[in-house]
Amino acid sequence: MVERTKKPSAIPVSPLAPTPQVSISDDNSRVIATLPTGDRVEVLLYGATVISWKSANGKENLFLSDKAHLDGSKPVRGGIPVVFPLFGAPTAGHETGKLPQHGFARSSRWEYLGKSSSESSSLPGNGGDASVKLDFGLSEGIVDSNARSAWSHQFGLTYSITLSTSELYTSLAVSNTESSAWDFQVLFHTYLKIDDISKVSVTGLEETAYLDKVVAGGPKESSATKKAITFEQETDRVYSKSDKTITVLESDEPRFEVKRDALADVVVWNPWSEKAKGMADFGPADGWKSMVCVEAGSVGQWMTLEGGDTWEGGQRIKAL
């Protein structure tokens, strides 16, 4: 046997790049996704409600009431509830008039449709998948009988939640699967977690008129304030027709940035102390100090969706 003087070198085997991990809880009630960076999102199938979104450093970005019902008995107080097909209290005589406040999407159990991920070399270390998308579905065939009897239209909702480094993108596709048109509204009821509401300001809406829902004498249309929103009492405002980026600052330092696609309205809300006391599922008692709702939606008027058509809108939240 002749021995070779030069043996071929072994082909190096590269370690597998880290990928997002997606799991379903043992009780089949929630879906959890984690990126190689440590960014994490947790979604309750009841309402397809995002109940936790953490950055790579472990910092929680969403407020969740410690009295929130996570057993499917009522809509979740906190996180990102999905509002559809109406915002607020129902209007008598309208086709949504028999529905509960904020509709049925947040109080229905959604189907988990699966995940997809995108590759990127931008991650530190040896790269890997930079984002993961979770898809959830809801249609007239899986909502409960109360919702079907109150709103008998045929529809399909696809809700996508995309987690990437320090960023969360939520988008909703609304399909009218019947031949007749129907009206709807939609909103992401996002509870952002902050440290001290007295040090928070919201910019990007200075030039936008709004509906003030807590002013004496009832809801009142108000002109643009020309200044950042600050908080000294209960605040509940609906800003209409704005396409600017919204920034939430704390102690003058940017904490969140919110960009919107096809969602021209923004609700800014903090219940303050007295309103919080009146909500049985709100806690801790001083929890209002550590939350602010910046809610992207289309709620200033009804949108009409023709039979066979699909509408889509979304929000992109960046933790700074």
Q: Under a CB-based contact definition with an 8 Å cutoff, are residues 58 and 38 in contact?
A: yes
Of 168, 133, 160, 131, which is closest to residue 55 (Cα–Cα)? 168
Longest dimension (CA), the chain: 101
Task: Work out the end-to-end distance of the chain between its first and last CA atoms, rounded to an integer number of angstroms.
Answer: 67
Task: Read off the tokens for 313.
Answer: 């809108």
C-alpha span between 95 and 182 (Å, rounded): 8
> Strand order in 30-34's β-sheet?
21-24, 30-34, 40-44, 49-54
Task: Read off the tokens for 239.
Answer: 């800003």
Task: Read off the tokens for 216.
Answer: 């004496």
Which residues are tagged catalytic? 189, 295
